[in-house]
Amino acid sequence: MELRQLRYFLAVAKQLNFTRAAAEVHIAQPPLSRQITKLEDELGVLLFERSQRGLKLTTAGTFFEERALEILDRVERTKSDTAALSTKSRRPFKIGFDSSLLYGRAPRVFRFLRDRYPQYEFQYADVPSPEQARALRNGLIEFTLGRAAVNDDQISQVTLRHDPFLIAVETDHPAYRGGGEGIRIADMKRETLILYGERTTTSLQDPVLRFLDHIQFRPAETIWIPDLPAALGLVAGGLGFSIVPSASSLMRGHDVSYAPIADDGASSPVVLSTMKGKHVEIIKMILAETKRLRDADAARIL
């Protein structure tokens, strides 16, 4: 099977007429007909139904048309990617991410993109979830991985999964009983809650605040700290408890204990965002790769 045969087949599939297809690929009709017959003989199936009313793709022909398009598209991408490498003309492509996602499957997705799209020079920026929509609109970022769903008709979002929240407490905290036993947030009402991020963040932007609003929880005291690692440091020091995405439990396992939350709605979305209509193929490939990784390694979390 040769690439030219695939091109000949696709021309016939498009025109459903040998004369017009021959003109499209710039050969005479008899050689084109012979090439299609040779291809059918090699495959062992008929690709076209031939009748006095004309040509029609068979079921096998429809399937082969999809695969032929994929093959030729990959060949063209390989040619352009190789040319881009040889001329060192890679285009910058900046990805924004919420740093809490780096403790799960996200780094492997980034590596997949680097290997899959060598024509791009991938750059990475830690962009907190509440700031990602603005970064997209200003053209600073091509796409983002974060935890904030937005209502913006300029931005397209896909929810990859929901990441369960855990409650983080110091290792000898009396509420922590181990064995995967959950803790109700109401049982912590006399404790200090350690929140992380910008203090001006609203519950529409922050999934932790949205969850607390949902269960109508008001802590005795609140400490705001700029980022999640710092919040866990305060937890380890016994200054309060925090509510964190489950992937973050890999950050400090020696001096912080993590327990499930025994309240409904205790989860954070993991959201892929881009400007509408942009990077459609890359987004499709990311979705396929995250599914493959999830199936291969269900213990890790993106």
Q: Give the integer Cα–Cα distance in Å for 118 and 79.
A: 11
pLDDT in the model for residue 84: 65
The percentage of residues in the chain with a pLDDT greater than 90, rounded to a whole number, is 52
Class of residue 268 by CB neighbours under 10 A (exposed 0-12, middle 13-18, buried 19+):
buried
Q: Which helix (H) or strand (E) holds 38?
A: helix 29-43
**Two domains, one topology: 91-160+271-296 and 161-268:** yes
Helix (H) or strand (E) holding 50: strand 48-51
Mean pLDDT of 77-86: 71
Q: Read off the pLDDT band of 249 (50, 70, 90).
A: confident
Question: Would the pLDDT of 181 be above 80?
Answer: yes
User: DSSP string covering 79-106, please?
Assistant: HHHHHHHHTT-PEEEEEEE-GGGGGTTH
The owner of tokens 């490939």 is 285
Domain chopping of the chain, boundaries: 3-86, 91-160+271-296, 161-268
**What integer pLDDT is reported at residue 240 of this predicted model?**
96
Give SS3 for 47: coil
152-to-88, 263, 272 alpha-carbon distances in Å: 37, 30, 14
Fold of 3-86: Arc Repressor Mutant, subunit A (1.10.10)
Locate tokens 């030219």: which residue?
A: 4
The CATH number of 161-268, from 3.30.565.10, 3.40.190.10, 3.20.20.140, 3.30.530.20, is 3.40.190.10
d(CA 206, CA 36): 59
Q: What pLDDT score was predicted for residue 301?
A: 46
Find all residues with CB under 8 Å of 283, minimum gap 6, and list them.
143, 156, 158, 272, 274
**What pLDDT band is residue 86 in, cutting at 50, 70 and 90?**
low
pTM here? Answer: 0.63
pLDDT at residue 3 above 80? yes
CA distances from 54 to 10, 14, 23, 58, 61 (A): 16, 13, 17, 13, 15
Asked if residue 122 lies in contact with residue 86, where contact means CB atoms within 8 angstroms, the answer is no
How far is Cα 153 from Cα 235, in angstroms, rounded to an integer? 39
Q: How confident is the model at residue 299 (pLDDT cuts 50, 70, 90)?
A: very low
Taking the C-alpha atoms of residue 144 and residue 97, their distance in angstroms, rounded to an integer, is 5
Crossing angle of helices 106-116 and 280-296, rounded to 10°: 130
The residues, any chain, with a CB within 8 Å of residue 201's CB and separated by 6 or more, are: 130, 209
Tokens read off for 14: 């498009």
CB atoms within 10 A of CB 277: 8
Q: How far apart are CA 195 and CA 201, in angstroms?
A: 11
Answer yes or no: CATH 3.40.190.10 is held by domain 91-160+271-296.
yes
